[in-house]
Amino acid sequence: MGATACFSEMTEAGTIVTALFQQIDPGKTMVDRLVEHSVARTGMLLADMLGTARSGVIDANGIEGGIDPVVDAMRDGGLRRWLDVVAAHDDFTLRHCLLVAGLAAHLALHLGLSAKDRATLVRAGLVHDVGKASIPLAILNKPGPLDPDEMATMRTHPAAGHAILLASGMSDPTTLAATRHHHEMLDGSGYPDGLSGEQIGDAVRLLTICDIGAALIEQRPYRLPMPQADALVVLRKMALRGLDPALVEVFAASVAGVDVSPAIGFENAPLCDRAWQPTMNSGGSLRSLPEMRGRRASPAVVARPEVALVDLL
C-alpha cells in the first residue's frame, strides 16, 4: 500500500523493488545484489560441504542448490562481478572452488551448452577439490614450496575427493571423473592415475583448464595473482604437452574482453560490466567438443612465465 503513494498502480513490481533497493544502498544495482546473493548462497553450501567432508561423506544432493545461482549470476552479472565478490572469501579452498565454478559456467555459456551440460560442468567445478578437506591446513596454507613429503600428501586430494563422492552417493560420472582426474595431463605426466590422451574425457579437459586458469589468476599463500595475459601464456605453454590446445583457445576466447586479472588479491582490479552474451550456437552439447579438438589450434608462441607445479595444485 505504501508503494502506491510513490508509484502508479500500473508500475511493474520489478521497478518498485529496484527503486526500493536503490534507496537502501544507492551504490549497488540489482545485478550487484543478485551476484552477491548467489555467491553467498553457493559459498554457504560449499562451506558446509568442506566441513562435513572431513568425516568422509557430504550431502551430495545439497550441492545441487548451488548450481543455478552460479549460472544465473554469470548470465546476468558477468564473470568480472563474480570474481570481485568471490574475492571477499578468505577460505582459500572455498574461494578457489567458487572461482573454478564461475569460470566453468562462463565457459559453458560461451560454448552454448545445454542446461544439463552447464549444470554438469558447474557441479564438477564446485566439488572438484572436496578431497582437500583431508589435507592438513599447514600444507594447504604453507607460504612457500612444499617439500617432497608434503607434495605427496597434497597429491592425494583427487583420489580422496573421488572416494568421498562415492561414499556420499554421487552418481554423475562426469563429476566423479573430474574430481579424480582434474590433475591428469594428456602426455601422461599427471596424477593420480597417469592417464593420457583419449583416456581423459572432454569435460575433464575443460574443467582442468578452468582449474589451472583459476589457480593462476588468484592469490595463493606463496605468490601474488598472475595477470590475465601471463596466465593465458602459461596455459598455451601447457597445451604443448599436457592440455588440449583447441580447448585452451576456446577458454582464451571466452575470457577475451573480460579482464579477469588479477581475480583475487588486488582490490583495484577494473570492473567489466559485460554480462554473458552467446558467442556460439545455444543448445550445444559436451559431445560436440571432439569436433573442436580436430581443429588446428594456433596459440601464440611468446616468452612464457615459469610456474612451479605447486602453483597449480
Q: Could you tell me where the DSSP H helices lie in 63-201? A: 67-77, 79-86, 92-111, 115-127, 137-140, 148-154, 157-167, 173-181
Give the 3-state secondary structure percentages of the chain, helix then strand then coil, rounded to 5: 60, 0, 40
Amino acid occupying residue 116: K
Residues 6+ apart with CB under 8 A from 244: 186, 205, 209, 293
Judging by beta carbons within 10 Å of its beta carbon (0-12, 13-18, 19+), is residue 52 exposed, middle or buried? middle
- Side chain identity at residue 157, one-letter code: H
List residues with catalytic annotation: 132
The 3-state DSSP class for residue 223 equals strand
Retrieve residue 268's grid coordinates: 583495484
